[in-house]
Homo-oligomer: A and B are copies of this chain.
């Protein structure tokens, strides 16, 4: 087997081969994007990013073909840290505390950019998104913590990693609304307590299914 270029991560090698101006543009674009997204949220104007980076609009699209590719680059480090954190917490805390602490960190991390919690939840829909592979790693990390707690019997067995990931980001999304910001930890507490095993709150008669009268197009 030849020794040359057999296992170097493709991203890194691509960066190596880049022309100097391309590499400079890439990095500068990322810096500026971080500022603009911090200001305007994940729906930030891409034109603004290119403008403030003093770069042609096509250059932005060349380096980040889609908005989610840009977000992915912006979030890569923080996501990696979260994945590591899962292992650290698993090693240092009880299963339940590791799970809840990690989910809280997930909610905090999702709040770094306005609209990100919703964007992460939207990721669940199309697995082709540039963000969704990164989210997959997050979900696996959280799923492991969940499985640990479930194996102990301290968390109800009928919730999935998808469930808790979605619920945590949903709480993060709610906390973006002004009056709920300070209740974030409280809402997370309600969510966590919903994970306790035990009899359900309601006898769940569900008085009727989807109403047959007055649907959206004609009511």
Point out residues on A near B: beta carbons under 8 Å: 34-35, 37-38, 77-78, 81, 89, 93, 96-97, 99-101, 104, 108, 112-113, 118, 121-122, 124-125, 154-156, 158-159, 162-163, 166-167, 170-171, 173-174, 177-180, 183, 185-187, 189-196, 198, 200-207, 210-211, 214-219
Contacts and interface: CB of A to CB of B under 8 A. Distances in A.
Say whether chain A's binding surface is mostly helix, strand, loop, or mixed.
helix
B96 A201 contact: yes
A35 B217 contact: yes
Contact of A178 (B125, B180, B210): B125
Most buried by B among A37, A118, A202: A202
A96 B190 contact: no
A6 to B, nearest CB: 32
Contacts of A187: 163, 166-167
B201 A183 contact: no
B38 A205 contact: no
Contact of A173 (B77, B108, B121, B192): B121
Contacts of A99: 202
A34 B100 CA distance: 42
Given A101-B205, A167-B187, 12 more contacts: A34-B217, A97-B202, A100-B204, A108-B211, A125-B177, A159-B186, A162-B180, A167-B171, A173-B173, A190-B194, A191-B191, A193-B198
Contacts of A219: 77-78
Contact of A216 (B34, B124, B198, B206): B34
8 contacts: A38-B217, A108-B210, A112-B216, A125-B177, A154-B201, A189-B204, A190-B194, A195-B201
